[in-house]
Each structure stands twice: as structure tokens, then as C-alpha cells.
């Protein structure tokens, strides 16, 4: 019998194993083995809505992973979940992101910042999932409570007829007040907190609905925060998912609120509190 040196055997074994490290599970849009470790089942990428540098860095993060073979669904805060059929039709019929944006005709967003993400989805045939709550449904939640936005099964699964834990609600209240320069009338705060919580729950639910496919969430930093945002709801029901959050934060900081923080330069903008003083 021909003797094969141990070193050669080990080298061959490692080579063959390495070939298996990039095996793709197309049904789940995942890479298995070593590359899988870099991609969680759910990757949440935050934003400061008007910060172009943050948008650019986030797109580069997503594109790098997709270029390496990852094929997640892309969940976007910028589209209301009620418009999913219209979004699907636009993605099927459009060749470029501008066409999708025009077809959806959504006001209130700087679509130039989201064009590259939508174009990437078109080029790589990645589904886009609309995960936000419409203004009409948000108003209903403000008036009638969180459970009013969901079907009975979801209400039961997420225990939406029970009060949200005090620490969670208080933290959301602080964020809502701070976002309105501490000038919001007290009577308005509970309803606005409920609307924010409902948005997070919808995002978490629709992300879970994509399983076994991996998902990237494109949303504001507040939704991406692991202490009070979507991540806190993601593993409330069902099997535990691997989740990673990356915040794009002006000036850095907030390291406890995200798994990773990418520091970005602050944008010069008018005093955001001026409108509340009028």
C-alpha cells in the first residue's frame, strides 16, 4: 500500500472541507459553513434618515455581503406592508429603481438615498418586503391600541392584550419625547408609543414570515435598537433566530444599543426644535 504522508492527508481534508464552506442553500438564500457565520438570519441595518454618509456606508455593507453570495430578502421601513402587492408588481415590471419608486409614489422619503438598495434588489433578484405601518393604521393604533392593528392569532402569539413591560414602555416614551424636543403634550405620548411599538411588531412579524430565507432590515436606528426596537420582538415567538444589529450613529456612541456601531459625521441641519416653539 502506498504511504501517504499525514501532512498531505490533512491538507487534502482541509481543501475538501473548504470547498464545502461556500455551499449555498438557495432555498434559504443562505451560505453554509464559514461564510454563514458572517451572515445572521436577520441583519438589521439602521440609519439617520437624512445622513447621506450613513446611507452610503450601509449600502456598501449590504453589497459586500450580497457580492459574496448572500441572497437575503430586503425588508424596508420605507414601504407600508399594506402595499406589498403593488410593490411586487413594480419589482416584476420595472428594470430600474427609479421605475419602482415612481410606481409606489410614496412621499416623505428622500428616495435618492434608497435608490442603490432597490437597484441592488432588482439586479440580484432579491425580494423586497414592505414592513411599515401606514399612517392610517398608525392613527388607528393611537386611538384603539396596539392589538387593533393585528389579527387574533398575532395578538395571542405576541401577547398584545397584555401590557408591555414598564422598562420597555418608559424607554420608548423617553425616545418619543426627545424626538419632539420634550414639547409633546403628555396626553399624546401613550398613543404615539403604541404606534411605534406596533411598527416594530409588524417589522418583526413580517421578517419572521420570510423564514427560512434570511432577511436584511433597512430602517431607522430607533427600530434597529436591540434594547427597545425590532430585535426585542423578533424572538418573542417561534424558534430563536440569529440576529445582528448595526447602528449608523452620528458621532458614534450608543454602543449598548447595537451589536456594532458605525460612526458617521453629523449633518448640518436647521434647529429641529424650532417648529415646536411656534
**Band (125; pLDDT cuts 50, 70, 90):** very high
How many domains does the chain contain in total? Answer: 1
Structural domain contains residue 217 = yes
Q: Distance between CA atoms of 79 and 134, rounded to whole angstroms?
A: 8
Mean pLDDT of 47-64: 98
96 part of a folded domain: yes
- Asked whether residue 171 carries a pLDDT value surpassing 60, the answer given is yes
How many Å apart are CA 127 and CA 148, to the nearest integer?
28
**Is 102 within the bounds of a domain?**
yes
pLDDT band at 56 (very low <50, low <70, confident <90, very high): very high
Q: Is residue 171 part of a domain?
A: no
Q: What percent of the chain has pLDDT over 90?
A: 80
* Per-residue confidence (pLDDT) for residue 37, from 0 to 100: 55
Q: Looking at 36-40, 174-178, 218-222, 258-262, which range is the least confident one?
A: 36-40
Q: Evaluate whether residue 159 is within a structural domain.
A: no
> pLDDT by residue (tens digit) across 4-50?
343 343 333 333 334 333 344 444 555 454 455 589 999 999 999 99
Residue pLDDT, tens place only, 229-266: 999 999 999 999 999 999 999 998 899 999 999 999 99
- The answer to whether residue 169 is domain-embedded is no
* Residue 187 maps to a domain: no
Domain hosting 241: range is 24-133+199-273
Q: The CATH number of the domain where 110 resides is what?
A: 3.40.50.11550
Q: Which residues pair with 80 in a beta bridge?
A: 132
Across the strands, what pairs with 247? 261
In a domain, 213, yes or no: yes
Average pLDDT over residues 82-108: 97
| Close Cβ partners of 106 (under 8 Å, ≥ 6 residues apart) | 78, 79, 80
pTM of the model: 0.86
Amino acid at each position: 500500500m502506498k504511504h501517504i504522508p499525514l501532512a498531505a492527508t490533512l491538507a487534502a481534508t482541509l481543501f475538501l472541507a473548504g470547498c464545502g464552506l461556500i455551499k449555498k442553500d438557495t432555498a434559504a438564500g443562505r451560505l453554509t459553513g464559514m461564510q454563514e457565520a458572517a451572515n445572521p438570519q436577520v441583519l438589521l441595518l439602521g440609519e439617520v434618515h437624512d445622513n447621506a454618509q450613513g446611507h452610503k456606508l450601509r449600502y456598501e455593507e449590504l453589497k459586500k455581503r450580497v457580492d459574496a453570495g448572500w441572497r437575503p430578502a430586503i425588508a424596508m421601513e420605507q414601504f407600508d406592508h399594506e402595499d406589498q402587492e403593488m410593490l411586487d408588481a413594480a419589482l416584476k415590471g420595472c428594470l430600474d429603481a427609479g421605475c419602482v419608486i415612481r410606481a409606489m409614489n410614496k412621499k416623505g422619503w428622500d428616495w435618492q438615498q434608497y435608490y442603490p438598495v432597490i437597484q441592488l434588489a432588482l439586479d440580484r433578484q432579491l425580494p423586497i418586503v414592505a414592513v411599515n405601518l401606514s399612517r392610517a393604521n398608525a392613527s388607528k393604533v393611537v386611538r384603539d391600541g396596539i392589538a387593533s392593528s393585528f389579527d387574533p392569532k398575532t395578538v395571542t402569539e405576541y401577547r398584545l392584550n397584555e401590557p408591555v413591560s414598564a422598562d420597555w414602555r418608559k424607554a420608548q416614551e423617553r425616545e418619543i419625547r426627545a424626538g419632539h424636543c420634550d414639547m409633546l403634550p403628555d396626553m399624546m405620548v401613550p398613543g404615539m408609543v403604541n404606534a411605534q411599538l406596533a411598527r416594530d411588531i409588524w417589522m418583526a412579524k413580517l421578517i419572521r414570515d420570510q423564514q427560512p430565507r434570511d432577511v436584511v432590515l433597512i430602517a431607522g436606528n430607533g427600530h434597529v435598537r436591540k434594547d427597545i426596537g425590532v430585535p426585542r420582538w423578533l424572538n418573542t415567538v417561534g424558534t430563536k433566530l440569529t440576529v445582528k444589529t448595526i447602528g449608523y450613529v452620528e458621532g458614534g456612541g450608543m454602543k449598548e444599543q447595537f451589536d456594532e456601531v458605525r460612526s458617521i459625521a453629523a449633518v448640518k441641519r436647521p434647529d429641529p426644535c424650532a417648529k415646536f416653539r411656534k
